[in-house]
Each structure stands twice: as structure tokens, then as C-alpha cells.
Amino acid sequence: MATKLDFYAVLEVSRTATPDELKKAYRKQAMRYHPDRNPGDHEAEARFKDVNEAYDVLKDDQKRAAYDRFGHDAFEGGGMGGAGGFGGFGGGGLGDIFDQMFGDMMGGRRGGGRRSGADVQVQVEISLTEAFTGVTRPVEVRTRVTCSACDGSGSSDPDAGSTTCPTCHGAGKVRAQQGFFLVERACPTCHGAGKIVRDPCTFCHGTGTEEETRTIEIRIPAGVEDGTRIRMSGEGESGGKGVQPGDLYVHVAVSSHDIFQRDGANIYCRVPLRMTQAALGTEIEVPVIDGSRSKVKIPAGTQTGENFRLRGKGFSVLRSSARGDMYIQVVVETPAHLSKRQRELLEEFETEAAGQDHAKGSPENAGFFSKVRDFFEGKV
């Protein structure tokens, strides 16, 4: 089953990314997957094409607006930026726009002049570790499928035939003037079929479809981001005999993690250290998203906010074997409850520290209070 990934996920940017952020992300991804830098790597070549396709749409304000509203459907039936289209709506002009806007009323999309069953939307929630490895998730989908009693014909008697709908004269749709706009909608008599069955099927009442709950295996690739939308062609609702089925759109929600925070292909892990560990230096062992462990050497005098980078220990990159980096963010923790002996030792430490050169022992502290002194003396 063909899947098409979200353009924002391809460029690894948020849906609110600015034009400059889009350009920066595009250059980064294009450089990473350029064929000249990945000779013979078909996966990188495919990724390079995806990156160019995504940027071609998102850099254009009209195309981006259309994509944000209609997704990949905005560019079907004529290609992106086709002649006679509307900023990438394909070659059908306003008729295609009306089909997109009123697709639910018509029971499906036109898709290049052909009617189709309605699209189905489902949401799947996965964990951060599942997003890292990729996962196959069975999902129950309630859709309309071809009627088992009449095989989608809508008639109890296959020889009875049908007549042309007198309302739409076989067009399957009717038009109505609303102010300055001419709006198309599904014919209320034949429900978009263009024909009326003479001897309607008693099971489906002439619609040619019936409701059914199906279990569909959804393959979610490694590296997906929260909000990614995956299209599964032909897995939506049936439109009856002679009508192509709609599509299934899977919206992926990635839940938060207790230890890791993700930012694109990078992962951040906040590690609290005791004051003594930060002052004296230590070695700690941290978990990695792939289930392994890694040791990190913390030098003496480490301050809150310092980061330690672990190359290649970050998140998986969509459609690539590459991985981002992992950053250990240090937070020096002040002891909250002291024993009598601990307090005595710290008081001794403070007495000795007060007699030392602050610029060496506590440079940030000394620098701050030096600026405060200059402020009160009117020097700054």
C-alpha cells in the first residue's frame, strides 16, 4: 500500500515554520541526501526527491495554504502548479476546489474526473520509543465496503438495470448559485451515482455499499514526528460498483517520554547532579533511546546548563539509517535537607571559600556582584 509522508515531517520542521526556517531546513536535508554525497544509495536518492518535492510546495505561499487545508489531495489530478489550476490544485480549476471543499456532501473526491468513495481519518497514538524504531499497529476502522448481497450494483436483480437520474441527468451532481459563487454538490436524488436503480437491493437499499469494521495493519516508519499524516491509498470507503475506493489517512500522535525530549533528530536528557559531583567531577551512566547505555565524564566545576553531546545517539531520521545526536543537560541540585555533620562541613567550606579569590572559585558569582557594585556606584 502506497504511503505519502507529511511534507513538514520530511523537512523536519514544525507546521508554523517561517520561510527562513524552511529554507534552512531544506538546505540541510538536501545536502545530507544529495546523490553526489551518497553514491549508489537508492534510499538517500528517494529521500532527496522527497525533500525537493516538500520544499517546492511549502516555499510557495499559495501551495502551502492549499496543502495545510487539503493535504496531498490538493495536488492530485494534475500535478503541482498545473496549467489552469489554482496554486497547485491541478488542472481542474475551481471545479476541483469545490470538490475538495464539498467532498463530504458528494460522498467522495473527484480525483482527476473519477468519483471515489469517502476518505477515512483515524488517529494512532504511539510512544516515543515506537516512533524511534517504527511500529506496525492494527487499527479497527469502521467504513463502508462493497455490498455483499448485490456485489455493489445496488440492485436485487442484475438484469433490471437502471435509469438516468432525472434530477442531475446523469451528472451525479447539481449546481446552485450562492451569492457570487456557483456551488456544486452531490445530487440529492441519486446521491452522486447519476443513475437510479430500478429494483434496489433490500440489503443496502440501492447504495451498493454496507458498513463493516475492518482491521488494518498500519506500518508507521521509524523517525515519524508528532502530527505526521500517512496516506494509505484505496483503504477508505467504497463508493459502490465501478467507483474507486477512498483513501485512509492516519494521523500519528507521539506521546511524551519521562526521560527524553525530542527536537527533530536530536534528543535531550536532563540529568540532575549533586553539588559535590559537579564540583569534584564524576562519571555517570545515562540511558539511550535505543535501549543501550552510555557513560559520560563530567569534569570538575561543571555548571548548571552545560550540555554534553553524544554523537549518533539521538533519534532515527525518517527514511534513512542516520541518527541525530543526544545532549545531556546538566542541572546542579542544591541539597534540600542537611544532616548536622553536612551542615558543619558546608559551613567550613563557606568560611574557606569566602577567603579565596572569588574570580577563580566562583567566577559567575563574582562577576555578577561586581556589576551590582558598579550599578550602585553609578558606573553603569
Confidence of residue 210 (pLDDT cuts 50, 70, 90): confident
Q: Where are the domains of the chain?
A: 256-336, 342-380
Q: How confident is the model at residue 361, as a pLDDT? A: 64
Please tell us whether the domain made up of 256-336 is placed in CATH 1.10.10.10. Answer: no
Is 190 annotated in some ligand binding site?
A: yes
Mean pLDDT throughout 69-92? 49
| pLDDT tens per residue across span 328-346 | 999 999 988 899 999 999 9
Is 168 annotated in some ligand binding site?
A: yes
Region of poorest pLDDT, from 63-67, 143-147, 314-318? 143-147
> pTM, whole model, 2 decimals?
0.56
Residue identified by cell 494512532 is 124
Region of poorest pLDDT, from 20-29, 65-74, 103-112? 103-112
Confidence of residue 202 (pLDDT cuts 50, 70, 90): confident
- Using CA atoms, how far apart are residues 189 and 291, in angstroms rounded to an integer? 59
Q: How confident is the model at residue 9, as a pLDDT? A: 87
Mean pLDDT throughout 218-232? 91
| pLDDT tens per residue across span 161-194 | 677 888 888 887 787 766 555 667 767 777 667 7
Average model confidence (pLDDT) for the chain?
79
- Of all residues in the chain, what percent carry a pLDDT higher than 90? 30
Number of Cβ within a 10 Å radius of residue 329: 15
Is 269 annotated in some ligand binding site?
A: no
- Say yes or no to pLDDT of 76 above 50: yes
